[in-house]
Amino acid sequence: MQCLFIAILALGTSQTSDKPQTAQKADAKAAQGQSAQPATLHLMAAEKEDRLRHMLPRVDDADLQAVLNDPRLILYTEREIPKAYQIWDGGLQGIHSPSYNISANGSEPFGNGNREFPWATPAGTHRTKGVEAFRFIWLPRDENDKPKPVVWFSKRLPGDSNTGYAWTFPVGAVVGEVLSMTGPDGYAYTFEVRTRTREYGYWDVNVYRPFPSAADLARKVKELRPNWEEEPKLAKAISHLEESVAMKPEHLKDSQPGKKTFDQWMGVDTLPDFDDPKLVSELLSGTTFRSMTGEVWRTASNGWKVYAPSTEAKFQIVPAKYDAGFVQVDRTSCMRCHDSVAQPVSLFNGGRDWYGHIRGSDGIFSFHPFDPSCISGNGYGSGARMRTDFEKAGVIAKYDPAKHTDAVYQSLDKNRAVPASMK
């Protein structure tokens, strides 16, 4: 995922939004012929970053569009911020890569929970092939136009005997995930953008897609292919999109016996093959993405709902075997999985020979402040070191109660009794 939403609480006790205003100031300077402030941190080669920026679609949310246009937006893939989870108990203490199985039990396939459903891949993509994801972070600015950093602090994580680490995003931070698939022409096509905006006490969530409903897709196909009735596969597809259907409900759940993270019944709408790759290319690249908040892809004649389509086609507006239709776009639905960050895997299955915690902190899986050099790929921990490039750019900072007020760094951590415990 996702899973961006723009209603930001400002520094102090004010509850007005400063994020869109900051991004819009950069746009205003550029419009006046002045140089907008460049991005404060580049994690990849310019060519790669430029390619990813061109994959950001147009969106119907002016605030989010300003954020996506901001040159200070920080882009990253798993190459720049590798997956990592913590262990601070037993003989393997440190920061570990999920790709290495630290279990000595031959029957244990992974050794940690970060490589299986629902934590291994962006929601809905666990059965797909060829889907790629990159992420971005936008940090709000202070009165000196410097980023309000993600603050890290020492903390004993649940189930550990020694102290580990946690971190909190500032109110107003935006974290996003961009999903794309490769078309038959070899180009990557973005089909979904998921966003999370840090509010006071929670993350607001949103998902942006080119077609929020089946009816929206049908209208656009007719617009782009006025002779659709003369093409049998398109005529069949339009009929599927417009006529009432009875969807057979399906059940998607994880296999953990201790605590279920995801367990959902939902209808499934399988889009037929348009047999027109150029049309699909036009649909994905020529459409402004719209918010899915409060939207339903379609409701079946038998009452079942689905929130995104799936398909078996090789190239459609979503990848084959896409399961995001099981996830309604709202905070409650999305937090089922995001609430599991930093939780010990023993909570979900205490009988397996697996170790450590689900990666992430403060409700976000993909980001961490650790230097990649301290992420163990062989099972032997080497302590924890914070990224100096993040520190120099003001992206992260050690928690200081004199600087980082609770109004901006209110924690989602239910185990943190008072802000002063962030030391």
Provide the β-strand partners of residue 131. Answer: 181
More confident residue, 35 or 154: 154
Closest of 298, 241, 300, 252 to residue 274, by C-alpha: 241
Amino acid at 224: L
Provide mean pLDDT across the span 31-41: 50
- Joined together, the tokens standing for residue 408 give 């901006």
Closest of 172, 154, 175, 150 to residue 391, by C-alpha: 150
Give the 3-state secondary structure of residue 215.
helix
DSSP letter for each residue of 263-312:
EEEE---EEPP-S-HHHHHHHHHSS-BEE-TT--SEE-TTS-EESS-EE-
Beta-sheet pairing, 202-209 with 290-291: antiparallel
More confident residue, 9 or 222: 222
- Joined together, the tokens standing for residue 285 give 């690249």
Looking at residue 334, its pLDDT comes to 80
Contacts of 220 (CB under 8 A, 6+ apart): 211, 283, 287
- pTM higher than 0.85: yes
Looking at residue 332, its pLDDT comes to 85
- Asked if 149 and 395 touch (Cβ cutoff 8 Å), the reply is yes
Provide mean pLDDT across the span 47-52: 97
Model confidence over 77-127: pLDDT tens digits?
Answer: 999 999 999 999 999 999 999 999 999 999 999 999 999 999 999 999 999
Return the H-helix or E-strand segment holding 49. helix 46-54
Looking at residue 410, its pLDDT comes to 85
Question: Does 16 score more than 50 pLDDT?
Answer: no
Model confidence over 193-243: pLDDT tens digits?
Answer: 999 999 998 999 999 999 999 999 999 999 999 999 999 999 999 999 999
More confident residue, 222 or 246: 222
* Three-state helix/strand/coil letters over 93-105: CEEECCCCCCCCC
Give the 3-state secondary structure of residue 22.
helix
The radius of gyration of the chain's CA atoms, rounded to the nearest angstrom, is: 22
Looking at residue 234, its pLDDT comes to 97
- Joined together, the tokens standing for residue 102 give 């630290």
Burial of residue 332, with CB atoms counted within 10 A of its CB: 0-12 exposed, 13-18 middle, 19 or more buried: exposed
Q: Is the dihedral of CA 300, 302, 306, 309 positive or negative?
A: negative
Beta-sheet pairing, 164-168 with 174-182: unpaired
Number of Cβ within 10 Å of residue 83's Cβ equals 20
- Asked if 34 and 196 touch (Cβ cutoff 8 Å), the reply is no
- What is the overall mean pLDDT for the chain? 89
DSSP letter for each residue of 400-413:
-TTTS-TTTS----
